Amino acid sequence: MFYRHALAALLFAATPAAAQDRGFDKAVTDFRALHRAEVAKAGIAGSSFYVIRDGRTVVADHIGEQDADAHVPVDAATIYHWASITKTMTGIAIMQLRDRGLLKLDDPIIRYVPELAGVHDPFGDPSTITIRQLMSHSAGFRNGTWPWRDKEWQPFEPPGWEQLKAMIPYTEVKFKPGSKFSYSNPGIVYLGQVLERLSGEDFEVYIDKNILRPLGMTSSYFDRTPPYLLPHRAHSYYIQDGKRLPARFDADTGVTVSNGGLNAPLPDMAKYVAFLLGDPKRSGEYDLVLKRASLEEMWRPQISAGEDFTQGRMAATTWSGLSFFLDKTDGIRIIGHNGDQNGFRAYLSLCPDQHMGSLLTFNTETRGVENAPANRDMPESRVALATDSLCKAVAAKGTASK
């Protein structure tokens, strides 16, 4: 009897399926080794990494400390700042309003934010700038939202709409809207205004009701941390001249919340990734947030972002969709968004055809993001780009099983 069971186990281990699973396991082992080596070498305080596959978290790694001074370790409860990954939720909210018949993507933005008629547009009439162009970063607005953040007494971001409204007469459209890609934070703030004005609710309240709660993301929130979650809030750091220095703790993104105000632990974000990847068995539940067809619409190419090396796979092949970035690596479709703010780095990456996605976060920035190919060659980027190997391992399994 023992011999038969042992032989059966041996035969099972030798099957192609088992061998293909070993291919994924090896890819995970290699990735973990790289992740740990880069974190240790760069002096990064803490980092986390999750893989979500077929709706389940199959890898959950936590490295280092969420508070390097108090030596509090990173764990599953640690709350990271997700920065510009917030923009994907802003885009989903706009699509919700579209699907409810409250707007069209090709509507002019000044229909909902009439103050923008006051921008300086040397290329024509600002009434031609559309919601779609804002979602694809092709509207012509500048990158940065707020130029004053070099002294401690200055607000981290403008606290209210009135500050940005006052800057509109001094805001210039940089190129003909729709003609090229240029990442724009204020453009997403304007989408946040559309959301608030049409829904009648603050951005944070709307997203909580329409995305976070329906997906069960109960420990996720925007900006200031509620007291009961403060023990889990990660601190953040910068590496400067070889030293690790603290960034502002628990910063408030103010009116730019639709740009980058999201804070969440990894288990909550895994629920978000599971929703993005989809599951026919949960379609009724997920469709209450956004129908699959509308989500796939967000993943259609809108304009090339190949001259920008800060987003997606940071490559000449990157395209902008609607609030997501699109790419291919060895024929594998990659959908995602990066985040970078106040010492935090975050990466959301999906290979939807393989039903898999990953989340990678760091609470330390080793150097500032730069729009150049060299941006790919920094510790955080090297680790983020290495997640492609996991998609390739799963894709190879799928090919071999056909």
CB neighbour class for 105 (10 Å; exposed up to 12, middle 13-18, buried from 19): middle
Residue 129, pLDDT > 80, answer yes
Cα distance between residue 300 and residue 335, in whole Å: 10
Average pLDDT estimate for 316-324: 96
The whole-model pTM stands at 0.93
Average pLDDT estimate for 263-289: 97
Residue whose tokens read 């041996």: 10
Cα distance between residue 322 and residue 320, in whole Å: 7
Residue 120, pLDDT > 50, answer yes
pLDDT of residue 399: 57
Cα distance between residue 302 and residue 310, in whole Å: 17
Query: Nearest-CA neighbor of 286 among 205, 215, 335?
Result: 215
pLDDT of residue 17: 46
* Per-residue pLDDT tens digits for 336-346: 999 999 999 99
Q: 388-400 vs 379-386: helix axis angle to the nearest 10?
A: 10
pLDDT of residue 21: 83
pLDDT of residue 146: 76
pLDDT of residue 313: 87
pLDDT of residue 135: 98
64 or 307, which is more confident? 64
pLDDT of residue 322: 98
pLDDT of residue 400: 53
| pLDDT above 70 as % of the chain | 94
Q: Which residues of 183-208 are buried (b: 16+ CB within 10 A; e: fewer)?
A: bbbbbbbbbbbbbbebbeeebbebbb
Average pLDDT estimate for 174-185: 96
Three-state SS annotation for 69-95: CCCEECCCCCEEEEECCHHHHHHHHHH
| Beta bridge partner(s), residue 362 | 47, 345
Mapped onto helix, strand or coil, the DSSP state of residue 244 is: strand
* Per-residue pLDDT tens digits for 4-29: 333 333 333 334 445 558 899 999 99
What does pLDDT average to over the chain? 92
